[in-house]
Amino acid sequence: MNEKQLIRLSKRLSRHLRHDPAALGLTLSPDGWAPVDKLVRALSITRAELDEVVEKNNKRRFAFDETGTRIRASQGHSVPIDLGLPDATPPDVLYHGTVSSSLDAIFHEGLRPMNRHAVHLSATPETARTVGARRGKPVILRIDAATMAANGHAFQLSANGVWLTASVPPPYLTRVP
């Protein structure tokens, strides 16, 4: 597949494995897994095409289970699932990419998961910049993850390196110049 086809299929997988499995007649397991054979049939793709998208997705959005018979999105779900990720000690600082039009609400209410299960944070400002750029000119926020963790906030690390937490209250946020 060419790059455009990979992106298109990746977006379709994201939609159905994160937000709308029922549209394909799929039911996710409580921990987010879908049967590969049913997904391939429902999307009218080959297993080789699915393997290529999983392998070549630069954000590693999807993962197969150890048997290769089930697939799930690594994070970002709006449907009720529990990824079963253990709590993890975050690095001292994490980052979040956003746009300036969201800053007033963020500094008033903090970072909230919105329609997802968790707030997504990046280990590097570069990754956060890429995430924020999807919606316009990016603004990077620095999160004092060490203090959050010391104050009892839990963090998890998804299979593709995205840090997850329930919310980030305003006192832990600063704008990166």
**Among 20, 18, 19, 4, CA closest to 53:** 4
* Predicted pLDDT at 118: 92
Give the chain's domains with CATH numbers: 3-73 (1.10.10.970), 93-175 (3.20.170.30)
pTM of the full structure: 0.77
How confident is the model over 89-93, as a mean pLDDT? 98
* Predicted pLDDT at 59: 76
Q: How many DSSP H helices and E strands does the chain contain? A: 6, 9
Only one residue has tokens 């298109």, namely 8
Has residue 114 got a pLDDT over 80? yes
* Predicted pLDDT at 127: 93
Only one residue has tokens 């500094």, namely 107
Has residue 42 got a pLDDT over 90? yes
Beta strands in the chain (DSSP E): 34-35, 62-64, 70-73, 93-99, 119-121, 138-144, 156-157, 163-165, 173-175
Yes or no: say if 53 and 10 are a contact pair by the CB < 8 Å rule.
yes
* Predicted pLDDT at 116: 83
